[in-house]
Structure 1
Amino acid sequence: MPDLPMPETPTVLIVDDNRPLADGFAQALHDEYETLTAYTAREARESLHEDVDVVLLDRRLPDTSGDRLLEEIRASGYDCRVAIVSAEEPTDGSDLDCDRYLTKPLSGVDAVRRAVSDLLDFDVSH
């Protein structure tokens, strides 16, 4: 019987300047996903590649706004889902091109896992 290829483990890039929070998200996800962490927009740009499936992106980064980084991700054509994770409430007229908006504080690690799982199951034709 031929060996079947192992399914690829999804990759999640966590971008947040709050190191304990970013590291906590990575810890919560590491059993099911390949995780990468970035604490600045510059580090996020260096870590982002075509195999990243989900980006958890803070809106307030020290070197560039998360909104601007989101625009760069979309303009670069990466095929990934992006969830904004912010203490700021979304504005009604928000023109953010994100797949999900999560408001901090999140209610535990299950909320992070559920959000990533939902984003991976997201049907583009919705």
Structure 2
Amino acid sequence: MPRNPHVLVVEDEPDLADLYGAWLDDDYSVETVYDGADGLEAIDESVDVVLLDRRMPGLSGDTVLDTIRERSLDCRVAMVTAVEPDFDIIEMGFDDYLVKPVSSGDLTSVVDQLLLRSTYDDQLQEYFSLAAKKALLDAQKTEAERSASQEYDQLTDELAVVRTKVDDTMEALFDQDVYHRLCQDISRNAT
């Protein structure tokens, strides 16, 4: 049975952290901590998404984020903060940025999007790995050798299945209103 995605809330206001946890608790395995140091201790390979306050006493959210990226932890990070974004965000390694106050729907939506993006990343990595193997065999083996190989047939079938999953996930990403608006913003700013 697959585990529920693990969401870590790092927020120095305990009531707010607990509220975020309550909003997400039905769909995710949620852990809340109330400062940056505890957040760094809690982050391990089981964490899928971190909701991180930017301005906290002690270790700031910026420092926690930098440490997460330096450790190459495989999790998505959304800053959930009262700090209005400025040009300093360009250098930051977050995946999304929400300005407080946020609603239950906003928080759930951003977690869903980040998890979907993670799925897409994993699928893309698998797809490119399989495609590289097929390309290598296509270049090194004759058509007759490939046609006679059961392993090559399995590789081709697996590549087709993964390609379909990638396409379906990409479609789901673009079906989400946030990504539709993002694409509109990108195309509007590119002209």
TM score, norm. by length of structure 2? 0.60
> Structure 1: where are the runs of 5+ without partners?
1-5
Q: Answer yes or no: is 1:65 the counterpart of 2:91.
A: no
| Greater fraction helix | 2
Q: Answer yes or no: is 1:115 the counterpart of 2:101.
A: no
Q: Answer yes or no: is 1:50 the counterpart of 2:45.
A: yes
Q: Answer yes or no: is 1:22 the counterpart of 2:14.
A: no
Partner in structure 1 of residue 148 of structure 2: none
Structure-to-structure mapping, 1:74-93, within 5 angstroms? 74-93=69-88
| Greater fraction strand | 1
Q: Larger Cα Rg: Structure 1 or Structure 2?
A: 2
Cα offset, 1:89, TM superposition: 1.1
CA deviation map 1:7-28 (0-9, x unaligned) = 1210000000011111000000
SS at match of 1:43: helix
The one-letter code of the counterpart of 2:100 is K
Q: How far apart, in 1, do the equivalents of 2:88 and 2:56 lie?
A: 22
> Structure 2: where are the runs of 5+ without partners?
125-169, 171-191
| Higher RCO (CA-CA < 8 Å; seq separation 6+) | 1
Q: How far apart, in 2, do the equivalents of 1:18 and 1:97 lie?
A: 23
TM score, norm. by length of structure 1? 0.90
> In angstroms, what is the RMSD of aligned CA positions?
1.3
Q: How far apart, in 1, do the equivalents of 2:106 and 2:16 lie?
A: 13
Cα offset, 1:103, TM superposition: 0.5
Residue correspondences, number? 120
Q: How far apart, in 2, do the equivalents of 1:54 and 1:93 lie?
A: 22
Percent of aligned pairs with the same residue? 42
